[in-house]
Amino acid sequence: MKRLGLVLLILMLSASLLADEMAVTVYNSNLGVVSETRTLDFQKGTNRLSFPDVPSLIDINSVRFALENNSHRVSILEQNFAFDLVNTRKIYDRYVDKEIELIDKDGRLYKGTLLSSSDGAVVLRDKSGGIKIVRMDGIAEVNFPTLPDGLITRPTLFWLYQSDFAGSIDSRVSYQTAGMNWTAEYVGVLSSEEDRLDLSGWAAIGNTSGKTYRDASLKLVAGDIHRAVSPRPTPPRGMEMMMAEKTMGAGFEEKPFFEYHLYTLPRKATLADKEIKQISLFDPATTGVEKKFLYRPSQDPKHVEVVLEYVNSEANGLGMPLPAGRVRLFKADDDGSLILLGEDRIEHTPENEEVTLKVGTAFDIVCSETMTNQSMVSKRIEERTFEIELRNRKDEAVAIDIEKRFHGFWSVVEADFKYAKKDANTVAATISVPAGETRTLTYSVRFEYR
């Protein structure tokens, strides 16, 4: 019995070593790169072979074939991609002018040449030439002699190859496919004092490529790669609702790769077709944040934006590359329930860069800007005077950051507040407004037309 158990263990280990291997790399740009190792059977000389179960959105121009054992040689001479999948409508269409059999719920047999199939009925011609219309709602079984040529159950590559040996050998096939994408999804919970943010990140991986990748080694590439435009149209495919799944466990291991960042999952994962899978990007972290009120009259003359700012540094609790994605911001109420404050998107953010998140607009702070005077100093010089009113209806003092944009050749000639020229088109100032009070600012700008 011990010897039998040892033999079974060896067979099980051997089977696991011979099992197909799958590696999938997903990009931010509707792209996946797949590498499969399968054991394929070859005949010596020139023959044909099918490689089934490839994604329906595969880019056949990207297919690469190689043997794991370099002692043999197999050359792919010709490749065809078949994606006309079998369904009821196509079978009926292919059997027009051919003989079929129908059996109704009472066991009666209808046999004849199919002339047409539509509107829930088929038209048959029997051997005597008579025409019979059979309603399909009473039919229990339809018999077709064979599967029509050209229809397949799964998208398949067909190869014409030349081999210098006959036998089975592990082969690696890699290819690109559309219908795969990933984005970062962040959840931030603001502290009661509004100076700390608990941040967690998920990688949301979508797969509509037309294939399920089982027990795959998974990598994600964060970054914007350049891609050449292909004239080849993508095969049509119906889109269906995706289902979300959260997979708990160890998150990704991150490292720089070329000019991008690579995230490798240290375990196998299955990416099912028509599914969004969520996997933790990093362990939850806490970072210090600063809440600011931002008034930009050139963009919105009435509302004040509420923003959160933090530095993506190790000293501030983070210090990790943050892939582009959506950030949802919450704050806990007194009873512990989380209240959504707002959402924003971040771009790919490297370490030690500043992050600014727009949360929403302030309810109790109202601002307005009015042009109170406009005059021509000369034919090419114009002066405009503006008045900004800042009304603080909160029960605490606030500091409001103002950013005003101008275009052309301009200069501030007079202002009753301190300001700085942020860049060639922007004037910036920070104004304190006591609780329940209003501040009015006046400034004049000269424009020169050359």
* pLDDT tens over the chain, length 450 residues: 444 343 333 334 333 333 469 999 999 989 999 999 999 999 999 999 999 999 999 999 999 999 998 889 999 999 999 887 677 887 888 888 999 998 888 899 999 999 898 888 989 999 888 998 899 888 889 898 887 776 677 899 999 999 999 999 999 999 999 999 999 999 999 999 999 999 999 999 999 999 999 999 999 999 889 988 655 444 434 333 333 333 334 579 999 999 999 999 999 999 999 999 999 998 899 999 999 999 999 999 999 999 999 999 999 999 999 999 999 999 999 999 999 999 999 999 999 999 999 999 999 999 999 999 999 999 999 999 999 999 999 999 999 999 999 999 999 999 999 999 999 999 999 999 999 999 999 999 999 998
Among candidates 85, 232, 80, 217, which has minimal Cα distance to 157?
Answer: 80
CATH architecture assignment, domain 365-448: Sandwich (2.60)
Pairing of strands 275-288, 196-207: antiparallel
Phi-psi group of 148: left, alpha or beta (phi > 0 → left; psi -120 to 50 → alpha; rest → beta): beta
- Do the beta carbons of residue 39 and residue 169 sit within 8 Å? yes
Residue 204: its pLDDT value, please?
Answer: 95
Task: Please tell me if the domain spanning 21-82+154-177 has the same topology as the one spanning 365-448.
Answer: yes
Report if pTM > 0.85.
no
| Length of the chain measured in residues | 450
HEC string of the chain equals: CHHHHHHHHHHHHHHHHHCCEEEEEECCCCCEEEEEEEEEEECCEEEEEEEECCCCCEEEEEEEEEECCCCCCEEEEEEEEECCECCHHHHHHHCCCCEEEEEECCCCEEEEEEEEEECCEEEEECCCCCEEEEEHHHEEEEECCCCCCCCECCCEEEEEEEECCCEEEEEEEEEEECCEEEEEEEEEEECCCCCEEEEEEEEEEEECCCCCEEEEEEEEEECCCCCCCCCCCCCCCCCCCCEEEEECCCCCEEEEECCEEEEEEEEEEEECCCEEEEEEEEEEEEEECEEEEEECCCCCCCCCEEEEEEECCCCCCCCCCECCEEEEEEEECCCCCEEEEEEEEECCECCCCEEEEEEEECCCEEEEEEEEEEEECCCCEEEEEEEEEEEECCCCCEEEEEEEECCCEEEEEEECCCCEEEECCEEEEEEEECCCCEEEEEEEEEEECC
Q: Which residues of 234-260 are buried (b: 16+ CB within 10 A; e: fewer)?
A: ebeeeeeebeeeeeeeebbebeeeeeb
* Spatial distance between the Cα atoms of 294 and 29, rounded to a whole number of angstroms: 33
- Number of C-beta neighbours around residue 408 at 10 A: 9
Chain-centroid distance, C-alpha 151? 31
pLDDT digits (tens, 9 = 90+) for 352-397: 999 999 999 999 999 999 999 999 999 999 999 999 999 999 999 9
Q: How far apart (Å, rounded) are the C-alpha atoms in residues 130 and 145?
A: 22
21-82+154-177, CATH topology level = Immunoglobulin-like (2.60.40)
User: What confidence score (pLDDT) does residue 244 get?
Assistant: 37
Q: Are 54 and 24 in contact (CB under 8 A)?
A: no
pLDDT recorded at residue 84: 74
Span 226-271, pLDDT tens digits: 988 655 444 434 333 333 333 334 579 999 999 999 999 999 999 9
Q: CATH top-level class for 88-143?
A: mainly beta
Residue 129 CB partners (closer than 8 Å, separation 6+): none
The amino acid occupying position 252 is: F
Rounded CA-CA distance 247/244 in Å is 10
Other residues' Cβ atoms within 10 Å of the Cβ of residue 142: 19
Q: Tell me what pLDDT residue 230 has.
A: 59
CB 211 within 8 A of CB 56: yes
**The pair of three-digit structure tokens given for residue 251, joined into one six-digit string:** 């998150």
| Predicted pLDDT at 287 | 96
Report domain extents, the chain.
21-82+154-177, 88-143, 365-448
